[in-house]
Structure 1
Amino acid sequence: MELALSIFATFAGFEPLALRFALASGGCVAAGLGVWAVTALCRRWLPGVAAQRSVWLLGQCTVVLAFLLILLPQSERLRMLPPIDIESFSTPAAAPRTGNDAATPATVTPAPAATTTPQTYLAWAAQSWLLLYALGLAYTLLQLLHTRRALHALAVAGNKSGVAPVDTIEVDAPISPMLFGLFRPRLLLPLHLRAFDADQRQMILEHELTHWRRNDLQWASAGIVLQTLLWFNPFMRLLRIQLSWAQELGCDREVLQGRPPAQRKAYAAALVAQLKLQQAPISTALAFGNVTPATLADRIALIRNPGKAPQGPWVRIATLAGLAAVLATSLALQPSLASQSPTLLSCTTLMDAATGQRLRHDGQCDARATPASTFNIVVSLMGYDSGHLIDEHTPLLPYKPTYASWNSEWRADTDPTSWIKYSNVWYAQQVTTKLGDARFQHYIDSFGYGNRDVSGDAGKHNGLTQSWIGSSLAISPDEQVDFLRKIVNRQLPVSVHAYEMTARILNPQTLDNGWTISGKTGTASPVLADGRDDNTRQYGWYVGWATKGARTIVFARMVLDHRQETYAGLRTRQAFLRDVATQLDTL
């Protein structure tokens, strides 16, 4: 039991990956069904095309590509179905609306006690599937290794005959003539072939050497690797079997080309006789009799009448177009996952502050948005560096009725500590106004902050007071962590006092797992084309850094979702502390 809990704890840090992996697994099975349907139609109406090995290997590649594309978070932009809203399965009581997103106590409240919800069940199921996939992959690889050892043992026990351009070994075993070994091809010939007549032996040998000349070992190996990677997908196995079938037909066609009917008849008799003598075929080898009763009829039909495959390019183009259509459809019709809410845009990115190594990078992290109240970190650095801010409680600025007062907490005299705690807009505006346009722009440029555009609303000349509030200034989560890393490593052109006081008023808190979190939330509405705020959606930010011992991790989490009772910045912070911060030790 303890081992199981330990395994699940390890996989818990990969919850977003596990959910996306489960979605990609289901998507590739659906893609496999589509590919199998296209290739089945091709086999029925275009048998000459279906007999080409490239069709079946391309089919496998299409399924694998569908899996990989669905796995990529950027592919969510291409999907037409709405996201799976996990939270819609339950209806928790909404938290009261308290005003601004930061208008809550600055202390980090303990994460709520773990409860079993549909989201929890889904996370467990996804993590279980990821573990099961790893175990299944390991088992499949062991099976391949066992088969390779069995073939090697047969080769060692046999006697070299030296009658072909590849190593030829006669073995006293009821096997089919087979070619194996990707890097060192070897041909195994059973001793019972000596009972066949000379023409039959010659054609059997020619069949195996044709596999060698056509590089069928490489084609078969590629099919086996793809099937192994997606071992859970039944259509990958079917496509790989059909690839083997097409390879056998191709070699039969070349061996029989120009031969008289008597030799074709002898060849068919040898095939039937060999099928009776062989044991179960070995999938990692290319064997003369490697057929099933279901495919034997096709080979006998070809032997009787070896027609030529169509050479026209249009039928092949049509087949490729069909596979491409399956790939595009499987990608477009896969829903994305919304792990917390009906999220329209999301990103979670974490980076090691010392090395710059990305530890997690999920979602649309290159999408820019207004920084909202996260910009107060920038204002704090500028204010303390310029001397307009002194310490945690100086200056204390008096409230005036003309100031913005969206929240009751803003209608009071404010110092730097309460400003950060309540994200007081008018206090930040007083600091930036004292800086002036030129110095304000100079700081933003030297910080390399976002798009560096602090011009404000078009034609209103309000950049000093509005540029970071749903206006001209925009920044992506990737740019946020780059900026935060400069703060942690003290690479910005500001004073030591500015660094120290900014860190102090952010009121860092230590979690139960020993990590100390310094962060800032932000909430803002997108701006519509007519300049009005979109009251149906909200951006939510939570950015900062986490420290434990000598290690520091910078982070940024950003979402765009539908407006709810609580502010998006608060929800984003709570989700980060619950789902990510508790797992920092696993990164």
Structure 2
Amino acid sequence: MAISPTLIDLLALRFVLASGVCVAAGAAVWAVMTLCRRWLPGVAAQRSVWLAGQCTIAAAFVLVLLPQNERLRLLPPIDVESLSATGAPAGASVAAPAPDNAANVVSEPPVGRSWPAWGAQAWLLVYALGLGYTAIQLLQAGRALRGLAAAGDARHGDGVQLIEVAAPISPMLFGLLKPRLLLPRHLRDFDASQRQLILEHELTHLRRRDLHWAGAGLLLQTVFWFNPFMRLLRKRLSWAQELGCDSDVLQGRPPAQRRAYAAALVAQLRLQQQALPTALAFSAANNAGAVAGRIALIRDPAAAPRSRWTRIAAAAGLSAVLAASFAFQPTLATPSASELSCTALVDAASGRRLRYDGQCDERATPASTFNIAVALMGYDSGILHDEHAPVIPYKSSYTTWNHEEWRTDTDPSTWIINSTLWYAQQVATRMGEERFQRYVEGFGYGNRDVSGDAGKHNGLTQSWVESSLQISAAEQVEFMRRIVNRQLPVSGKAYEMTARILHPQTLSNGWTIYGKTGTASPVLADGRDDGTRQYGWYVGWATKGGRTIVFARMMLDHRQETYAGLRVKQAFLRDVASQLDKL
């Protein structure tokens, strides 16, 4: 299945937006945690709150990528419909087709990515490269640890494999699936009680499942490598794990053992190399300031009280950050953000799919695109004669929906231009229910249900307008293909006259477009029209030389000032029709 440049650009832009929100959420989380540390020092030893901070940032990133409830957001959507193509803006009007038989030459805007679209693509590349580089670093660290383990002397003890190595490292616990403990040979020079406390520290990590906590934090830091606050929070998670183990190991021990433990920390710091990120090291902080902080807490354990209120306060702050990131994050208002969309193009001769993007099998009301079918019926049955006959006089009893252009006498040509509903209703009424149903069946049109609204017996005049008759974009394309190949049970005149009143437009790339728009509202469960959303259709065929491509483009999105059908047509002419030569 082909992926459209517009869809790729939109996904890239959404990823950029999510990245920005992720960094902003990271700054907010770090600010909240800094305040918590100031007012509640016990937060420093709570590993759960630091990992929760990382998860909050990740959730803010994911929320941007998920479908969102517009009622809960406080910022309006960003209109980026035109970011994937330079030239005319998304709302620019398309030249109106000429009402006569001649082709109307239309100069479509040039297609190409704008700088935001190129920038988004570049960021995707940078992110992928950064992710790959970070992953390689982790693999190298893991390989280094396995190399150290392979070169050491192994023995079993206390439920874990103990490996003594000659390298000047810190005691390290590593391996999620198969935990192993690396012990430097220089520990033999430490006091026996110090060696025992250091070993107990690492085994406490094992019992607390700190490897899993550290692994989760490292994974989040890796995925969001671009966010500096992820790295800061992961370091604080490591710090909290060390403080937690210190507290558990020294609980109830006399001051002499506490002093011996602190001395072992200092001695180890002087001997060790840089700790590897995939392991839990006894002196993981590896800097004098951090070790000094640990020693202070070892000497005075009351300075870091552990209370559920620290977790509650931190959780409340993180929840507020997540709620704010959801409510205030911007989103993109584009066709791909619609609830339902499809772009389908098929080679008319072979039936080969050239492009099939979106939910092309989902049915919806055909709206005014059904006028193509009504025109075929009208010309085949003799109700319609040519482009300008018959002229049906306007009556005040006809449905106009406040369309001023509908309040006038109308012929076939102006009917198609203005999508005048009452004219199509008059053609169908003159045709009669039996013949109308027979045509729909012969056309194989959608679900072929022309019964209309339940209990109202209005199928002849209303079935194709937000009612019983439904059709998918895939079925629209097949219907167009049968028109182009003249495979419907209608006369040659019906094909020729229908094509004429569609007022073909010839683009500057030489393709001539025959198309019809359609706009309608979804129907709510209580039978009322949905005032917040609209279906937009543009269906037809394009010809150049001896080749013909049939197409259908449809979307369901939020109601805007311009009709959805017109917006879909403009997007098609700008983003798709100009690239037909490449299909």
Normalising to structure 1: TM-score of the pair? 0.74
Q: Is 1:572 aligned to residue 568 of structure 2?
A: yes
Q: Which segments of 5 or more consecutive residues in structure 2 lack a partner in the other structure?
A: none
Give 1:430's aligned residue. Answer: 426
Give 1:45's aligned residue. Answer: 39
Contact 2:345 2:551 in 1 (8 A): yes
Q: Is 1:60 aligned to residue 54 of structure 2?
A: yes
Contact 1:172 1:191 in 2 (8 A): yes
Shift of 1:144: 1.1
**CA separation of 1:191/1:42 partners in 2, compared to 1, >3 Å: closer, same or farther?**
same
Among 118, 124, 144, the alignment partner of 2:138 is 144
Among 283, 304, 307, the alignment partner of 2:299 is 304
CA distance in 2, matches of 1:328, 1:585: 48
Q: Which segments of 5 or more consecutive residues in structure 1 lack a partner in the other structure?
A: 1-8
Equivalent position SS for 1:36: helix
**CA separation of 1:346/1:41 partners in 2, compared to 1, >3 Å: closer, same or farther?**
same
Alignment of 1:386-535 (within 5 A): 390=380, 396=386, 397-402=389-394, 407=405, 413-414=411-412, 423-434=419-430, 454-455=452-453, 464-465=460-461, 473=467, 480-481=472-473, 484=476, 497=489, 505=499, 520-523=516-519
**CA separation of 1:91/1:376 partners in 2, compared to 1, >3 Å: closer, same or farther?**
closer
**CA separation of 1:185/1:94 partners in 2, compared to 1, >3 Å: closer, same or farther?**
closer
CA distance in 1, matches of 2:339, 2:135: 37
Q: Is 1:255 aligned to residue 249 of structure 2?
A: yes
Q: Is 1:128 aligned to residue 94 of structure 2?
A: no
Tell me the percent identity. 52
Among 105, 109, 119, the alignment partner of 1:112 is 109
Give 1:6's aligned residue. Answer: none
Among 191, 194, 208, the alignment partner of 1:214 is 208
Shift of 1:288: 0.5
Give 1:153's aligned residue. Answer: 147
Equivalent position SS for 2:182: strand
Q: Deviations over 1:349-404 (max 9, x none)?
A: 34799999x96559xx99x9975423436x54xx86xx655299965450122267
CA distance in 1, matches of 2:167, 2:411: 94
CA distance in 2, matches of 1:43, 1:101: 72
Partner amino acid for 2:268? Q
**CA separation of 1:372/1:388 partners in 2, compared to 1, >3 Å: closer, same or farther?**
closer
Q: Deviations over 1:122-154 (max 9, x none)?
A: 111111111211111111111111111111111
CA distance in 2, matches of 1:375, 1:136: 51
Equivalent position SS for 1:274: helix
Contact 1:450 1:475 in 2 (8 A): yes
CA distance in 2, matches of 1:183, 1:513: 61
Contact 2:392 2:423 in 1 (8 A): no
Equivalent position SS for 1:521: strand
CA distance in 2, matches of 1:266, 1:295: 18
Q: Is 1:349 aligned to residue 345 of structure 2?
A: no
CA distance in 2, matches of 1:448, 1:258: 79
CA distance in 1, matches of 2:184, 2:99: 79
Shift of 1:454: 3.9
**CA separation of 1:93/1:143 partners in 2, compared to 1, >3 Å: closer, same or farther?**
closer
Q: Deviations over 1:198-250 (max 9, x none)?
A: 11111111111111121111111111111111111111111111111111111
**CA separation of 1:269/1:96 partners in 2, compared to 1, >3 Å: closer, same or farther?**
closer
Among 15, 24, 35, the alignment partner of 2:18 is 24
**CA separation of 1:361/1:97 partners in 2, compared to 1, >3 Å: closer, same or farther?**
closer
Give 1:324's aligned residue. Answer: 319
Equivalent position SS for 1:169: strand
CA distance in 2, matches of 1:106, 1:559: 32
CA distance in 1, matches of 2:390, 2:323: 60
Partner amino acid for 1:497? P
Contact 1:22 1:129 in 2 (8 A): yes
Q: Is 1:14 aligned to residue 2 of structure 2?
A: no
Q: Is 1:229 aligned to residue 223 of structure 2?
A: yes
Equivalent position SS for 1:187: strand
**CA separation of 1:29/1:114 partners in 2, compared to 1, >3 Å: closer, same or farther?**
same
Q: Deviations over 1:79-130 (max 9, x none)?
A: 2112234589999698678779999988895642247xxx811111111111
**CA separation of 1:372/1:129 partners in 2, compared to 1, >3 Å: closer, same or farther?**
same
Larger Rg: 2
Give 1:241's aligned residue. Answer: 235
Q: Is 1:191 aligned to residue 181 of structure 2?
A: no
Q: Is 1:557 aligned to residue 544 of structure 2?
A: no
Partner amino acid for 1:320? A
Q: Is 1:293 aligned to residue 300 of structure 2?
A: no
CA distance in 2, matches of 1:85, 1:101: 31
CA distance in 2, matches of 1:100, 1:547: 15
**CA separation of 1:300/1:559 partners in 2, compared to 1, >3 Å: closer, same or farther?**
same
Equivalent position SS for 2:314: helix
CA distance in 1, matches of 2:166, 2:510: 67
Partner amino acid for 1:428? A
CA distance in 1, matches of 2:582, 2:259: 66
Partner amino acid for 2:57? V
CA distance in 2, matches of 1:63, 1:337: 20
Contact 1:18 1:127 in 2 (8 A): yes
Contact 1:106 1:421 in 2 (8 A): no
CA distance in 1, matches of 2:521, 2:4: 37
Equivalent position SS for 1:563: coil
Among 143, 166, 170, the alignment partner of 2:164 is 170
Shift of 1:558: 4.4
Partner amino acid for 2:342? T
How many pairs were matched up? 546
Partner amino acid for 1:213? R
**CA separation of 1:46/1:584 partners in 2, compared to 1, >3 Å: closer, same or farther?**
farther
CA distance in 2, matches of 1:580, 1:214: 58
Aligned-pair Cα RMSD in Å: 5.3
Equivalent position SS for 2:380: coil
Partner amino acid for 1:398? P
